[in-house]
């Protein structure tokens, strides 16, 4: 499996009664295959060169996005360099994206991955929801990370399209959790067999005026 640099934070954290696992080693990510786990998070520190590369891609006037569906190979690398707004500063970011794509393909035994990289200037999905897919890798390179809810704070009857008869999804506002920039998170969705009623509930964070967020998502395809 590709090598990823860990964080200096605690190496592993999990409550037996919880549905998430966190740690600073790549070994925490395969915990997503555990029946009771619907979120696995690897904490990591972004290198100085990667932070500079990220910042360069964020210093543009307009929001942008790019997508890729295929093998995480040299063609992916070339496409990213071609499409990123500041190609001359792209190499560290491109290397990291390819590394994560290779890790995702390895972990889920697939040759093909779907990648989306977006510079956002507003919340993309501000309402708490579940993804209707098996699993997704999410990492925020810059700006606030995705927010998620422990199961104890969720009223699942409120999920889905909003309506006058729908109850509030959030049962405890103090329980909202947030991923940190650099965190590599695997979110299990309702498309995972056996997890149809237990998909992770999450949302995009609010952005203040002028704030930007660089978000990467990778799906096994």
Range of the domain at 186: 19-57+70-155+168-220
Q: Compute how many other C-beta atoms are within 10 angstroms of the C-beta atom of residue 104.
A: 25
Residue 142's H or E segment, with its range, is: strand 135-142
pLDDT band at residue 156 under the 50/70/90 scheme: confident
Query: CA 162 to CA 12: how far, in whole Å?
Result: 37
Across the range 190-215, mean pLDDT stands at 93
Domain count for the chain: 1
Asked if residue 204 belongs to a domain, the reply is yes
Q: Tell me: the pLDDT tens digits for 50-82?
A: 999 999 999 998 899 999 999 999 999 999 999
Q: Tell me: the pLDDT tens digits for 80-89?
A: 999 999 999 9
pLDDT band at residue 3 under the 50/70/90 scheme: low
Q: Which of 3-12, 25-34, 82-91, 192-201 has the lowest mean pLDDT?
A: 3-12
Tell which residue, 121, 109, 117, has the closest CA to residue 138: 117
Share the mean pLDDT of the chain.
Answer: 90
Across the range 178-200, mean pLDDT stands at 95
Q: What is the pLDDT of residue 10?
A: 43
CA distances from 53 to 19, 30, 77, 92, 215 (A): 34, 29, 15, 6, 14
Asked if residue 10 belongs to a domain, the reply is no
Query: CA 145 to CA 203: how far, in whole Å?
Result: 10
Across the range 135-141, mean pLDDT stands at 98
Asked if residue 95 belongs to a domain, the reply is yes
Asked if residue 8 belongs to a domain, the reply is no
Asked if residue 113 belongs to a domain, the reply is yes
Which CATH number do you get for residue 52? 2.60.120.10
Asked if residue 101 belongs to a domain, the reply is yes
CA 147 to chain centre: 10
Asked if residue 106 belongs to a domain, the reply is yes
Tell which residue, 210, 198, 41, has the closest CA to residue 134: 198
Asked if residue 3 belongs to a domain, the reply is no
Q: Would the pLDDT of 185 be above 70?
A: yes
């Amino acid at each position: 499996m590709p090598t990823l640099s860990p964080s200096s934070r605690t190496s592993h954290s999990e409550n037996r009664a919880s549905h998430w696992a966190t740690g600073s080693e790549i070994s925490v990510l395969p915990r997503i295959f555990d029946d009771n786990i619907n979120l696995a998070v690897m904490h990591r520190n972004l290198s100085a060169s990667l932070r500079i590369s990220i910042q360069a891609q964020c210093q543009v006037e307009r929001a942008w996005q790019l997508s890729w569906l295929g093998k995480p190979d040299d063609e992916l690398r070339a496409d990213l360099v071609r499409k990123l707004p500041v190609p001359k500063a792209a190499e560290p970011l491109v290397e990291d994206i390819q590394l994560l794509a290779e890790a995702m393909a390895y972990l889920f035994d697939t040759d093909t991955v779907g990648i989306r990289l977006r510079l956002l200037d507003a919340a993309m999905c501000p309402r708490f929801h579940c993804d209707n897919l098996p699993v997704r890798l999410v990492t925020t390179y810059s700006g606030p990370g995705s927010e998620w809810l422990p199961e104890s704070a969720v009223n699942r009857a409120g999920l889905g399209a909003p309506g006058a008869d729908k109850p509030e999804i959030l049962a405890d506002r103090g329980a909202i959790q947030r991923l940190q920039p650099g965190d590599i998170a695997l979110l299990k969705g309702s498309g995972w067999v056996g997890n149809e009623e237990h998909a992770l509930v999450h949302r995009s964070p609010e952005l203040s005026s002028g704030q930007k967020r660089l978000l990467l998502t990778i799906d096994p395809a």
